[in-house]
């Protein structure tokens, strides 16, 4: 199949579109794709080949969801995949690349994510549920993002970096090392400035658990990630999750900044 045939206006004969979905005649839905119930694909939006959208997703004009990976080793017509959960919103000019054959072949987004104008998710990335990528945010290939992470405008994340759940990455931040869950990261290069207190409150994490997290985070940076103290804080689920994240980091830990 030629590359040109992947981008013809209309719905490809091999694509599956739920009867309740709305696809504009000026949109592109590529071969072997799946559009779930209640989805809306606006004019001039593109859903690429081998791309699956869960129920209730909205793709705005000029977004390209499931385009070929920006990877020189992968041909544009490679049968790699993009899998998206329910209720994701892809605003204008946002882009999400399919996976690459040499890294599992699949990019995956969870549910209820918002990609604002110009946001990008690279090939083979994993994004959880309820994340917000503000205008111009760029996640490189192989990035892993937990649930309910917020990225301020024009933040950038280096390939293979992990960003833990309920973290907040401030606008214009350049992230090159792993960001622990529940933390606020800012700067070029990024520094951890403390806990994402507002996000934790909104998520219903109570004051006692937030205090335990603060102690655990301070201990991780002063005594090492395997020496989270005091010991009774390890019974707090959020602390246990923080410890598990730190024990499995791949690129090293974003250093702590001037605030605690």
Catalytic residues: 123-124, 141
Collect all residues with Cβ–Cβ distance below 8 Å to 29 and sequence separation of at least 6. Answer: 10, 11, 12, 15, 17, 23, 35, 41, 47
> Where does residue 96 rank: exposed (0-12), middle (13-18), buried (19+ CB within 10 A)?
buried
Q: Residue-wise over 29-38: b if at least 16 C-beta within 10 A, else e?
A: bbbebbbbeb
**Rounded to whole angstroms, how far apart are CA atoms 24 and 236?**
49
Contact 161, 176 (CB under 8 A): yes
Count how many residues are written for the chain: 260
Q: Which of 12, 152, 140 is nearest to 69 (CA)?
A: 140
Q: Which of 45, 140, 177, 237 is nearest to 127 (CA)?
A: 140
Collect all residues with Cβ–Cβ distance below 8 Å to 224 and sequence separation of at least 6. Answer: none
Q: Which of 47, 59, 107 is nearest to 80 (CA)?
A: 107
Identify the residue whose tokens are 């919103």: 89
């Amino acid at each position: 199949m030629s590359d040109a045939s992947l981008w013809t206006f209309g719905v490809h004969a091999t694509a599956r579109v739920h009867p309740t979905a709305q696809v504009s005649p000026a949109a592109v839905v590529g071969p072997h794709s799946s559009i779930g119930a209640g989805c809306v694909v606006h004019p001039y939006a593109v859903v690429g080949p081998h791309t699956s959208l869960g129920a209730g997703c909205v793709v705005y004009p000029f977004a390209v969801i499931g385009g070929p990976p920006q990877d020189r080793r992968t041909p544009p017509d490679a049968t790699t995949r993009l899998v998206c959960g329910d209720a994701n919103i892809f605003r204008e000019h946002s882009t999400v690349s399919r996976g690459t054959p040499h890294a599992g072949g699949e990019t995956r987004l969870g549910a209820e994510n918002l990609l604002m104008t110009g946001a990008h998710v690279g090939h083979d990335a994993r994004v959880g549920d309820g994340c917000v990528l503000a205008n111009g945010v760029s996640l490189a290939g192989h990035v892993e993002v937990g649930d309910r992470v917020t990225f301020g405008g024009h933040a950038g994340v280096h390939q293979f970096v992990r960003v833990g759940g309920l973290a907040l990455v401030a606008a214009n931040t350049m992230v090159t090392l792993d960001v622990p869950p529940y933390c606020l990261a800012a700067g070029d290069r990024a520094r951890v400035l403390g806990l994402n207190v507002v996000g934790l409150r909104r998520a219903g994490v109570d004051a006692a658990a937030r205090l335990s997290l603060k102690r655990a985070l301070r201990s991780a940076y002063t005594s090492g990630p395997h020496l989270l103290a005091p010991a009774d804080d390890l019974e707090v689920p959020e602390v246990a999750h923080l410890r598990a994240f730190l024990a499995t980091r791949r690129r090293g830990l974003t250093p702590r900044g001037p605030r605690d």
